[in-house]
């Protein structure tokens, strides 16, 4: 397995695979790999002949005061995992490779980032669109796999693929969870022992609300308020806990039959921000 740092080299690697008649899957990551990432690698391997992974902590998606400097980095261990998983090549660019010189252009997002993480983290999705747009242009994969845990990211990238005419199929991999239900995340490493024990509470709240909706509950606002209070009593600080429309990623207001929704939450335990979601189809 090759660890490739330069754009021309990763392009040559992909071109070689395609000339052999192979389809190429792609999984972009920021490293600190865990079982959630590996599940995406395996899903990509089911859908493509060879898989390329990128490892790059993208500074453009971190706002002022966020954890760019502290974000866990473990490149040697990550490369070993990629090799064990049969990844064809890993693209590990530097900032100078991804963002050489002054930039005169930028990408804006309208409406799809008004809520959820887009509201809480201004500039976050613009930074993601910038780097993924560049990575798609560099790697030119046939398919790309992203996790459901970052479901708003997936919806915005779907729109980018459509509006920018990228010739790539996006696939959303299911959330990989620990035995107690906590959604796997590189940032879980920040949790202290007692926080880690409490952390699955968000998932349990989401699961309870989803079941109530499927059982016919109509006063969703009251249901969510009750769960917010339950979480706050357990030491969680609520960023959001809401039902959103799947297509526009906007608060649903009410849930009606025959539609698809995102039931999502973001909370803090101490300094650690946790996100999770469930898809609800009525």
Domain termination residue (choose one: 117, 148, 173): 173
Looking at the fold, whether 29 and 114 belong to one and the same domain comes out as yes
Instruction: Tell me the residue range of the domain where 196 lies.
Output: 186-276
Please state, in angstroms and rounded to a whole number, the distance separating the CA atoms of residues 111 and 240: 17
Q: Same domain for 38 and 110?
A: yes
Do 165 and 33 fall within a single domain?
Answer: yes
Short-list 228, 242, 225, 235, CA closest to 270:
235
Side-chain-side CA neighbours of 48 within 13 Å: the count stands at 30
Specify whether the CB–CB gap between 36 and 147 falls below 8 A.
Answer: yes
The torsion angles phi and psi of 124, rounded to 5 degrees, stand at: -60, -50
- CATH number for 141: 3.40.50.620
Cα separation of the two ends of the chain: 45
Listed in sequence order, the DSSP H helices in 65-200 are: 75-84, 95-98, 116-120, 124-139, 151-164, 193-198
What is the per-residue pLDDT for 254? 87
Residue 178 lies in a domain: no
| 103, 192: one domain | no
The H helix count followed by the E strand count for the chain is 10, 9
**Which tokens go with 189?**
């490493």
User: Any idea which residues carry the catalytic annotation?
Assistant: 37
266 shares its domain with 235? yes
> Based on the domain organization, do 141 and 215 belong to the same domain?
no
For residue 133, the Cα-to-chain-centroid distance in whole angstroms is: 15
pLDDT tens digit at each of 282 positions of the chain? 889 999 999 999 999 999 999 999 999 999 999 999 999 999 999 999 999 999 999 999 999 989 999 999 999 999 999 999 999 999 999 999 999 999 999 999 999 999 999 999 999 999 999 999 999 999 999 999 999 999 999 999 999 999 999 999 999 999 999 999 999 999 999 999 999 999 999 999 999 999 999 999 989 999 999 999 999 999 999 999 999 999 999 999 889 999 999 999 999 999 999 999 999 999
Whether 179 maps to a domain, the answer reads no
CATH number for position 239: 3.30.1300.10
Q: Which of 119, 146, 173 is where one domain is finished?
A: 173
Same domain, 121 and 254: no
Residue 273, SS3?
Answer: strand
Do 264 and 168 belong together in one domain? Answer: no
Judgement on whether residues 163 and 199 belong to the same structural domain of the protein: no
Q: What's the number of domains the chain is made of?
A: 2
């Amino acid at each position: 397995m090759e660890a490739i740092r330069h754009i021309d080299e990763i392009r040559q690697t992909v071109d070689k695979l395609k000339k052999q008649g192979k389809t190429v899957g792609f999984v972009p990551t920021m490293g600190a790999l865990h079982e959630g990432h590996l599940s995406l690698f395996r899903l990509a391997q089911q859908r493509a002949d060879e898989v390329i992974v990128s490892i790059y902590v993208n500074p453009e998606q971190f706002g002022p005061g966020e954890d760019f400097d502290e974000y866990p980095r473990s490149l040697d261990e990550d490369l070993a995992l990629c090799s064990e998983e049969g990844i064809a090549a890993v693209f590990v660019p530097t900032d100078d490779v991804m963002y050489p010189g002054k930039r005169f252009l930028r990408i804006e997002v309208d409406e799809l980032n008004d809520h959820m993480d887009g509201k809480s983290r201004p500039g976050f999705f613009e930074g993601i669109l910038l780097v993924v747009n560049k990575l798609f242009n560099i790697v030119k994969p046939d398919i790309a796999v992203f996790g459901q845990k970052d479901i708003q990211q997936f919806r915005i990238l779907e729109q980018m693929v459509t509006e920018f005419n990228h010739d790539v199929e996006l696939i959303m991999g299911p959330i990989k969870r620990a035995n107690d239900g906590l959604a796997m995340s590189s940032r879980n490493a920040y949790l202290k022992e007692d926080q880690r024990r409490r952390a699955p509470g968000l998932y349990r709240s989401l699961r309870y609300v989803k079941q109530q909706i499927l059982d016919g509950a109509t006063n969703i606002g009251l249901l969510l308020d009750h769960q917010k209070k339950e979480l706050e009593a357990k030491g969680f600080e609520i960023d959001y806990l809401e039902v959103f429309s799947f297509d526009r990623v906007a608060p649903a207001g009410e849930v009606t039959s025959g539609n698809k929704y995102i039931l999502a939450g973001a909370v803090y335990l101490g300094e650690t921000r946790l996100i999770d979601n469930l898809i609800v189809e009525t």
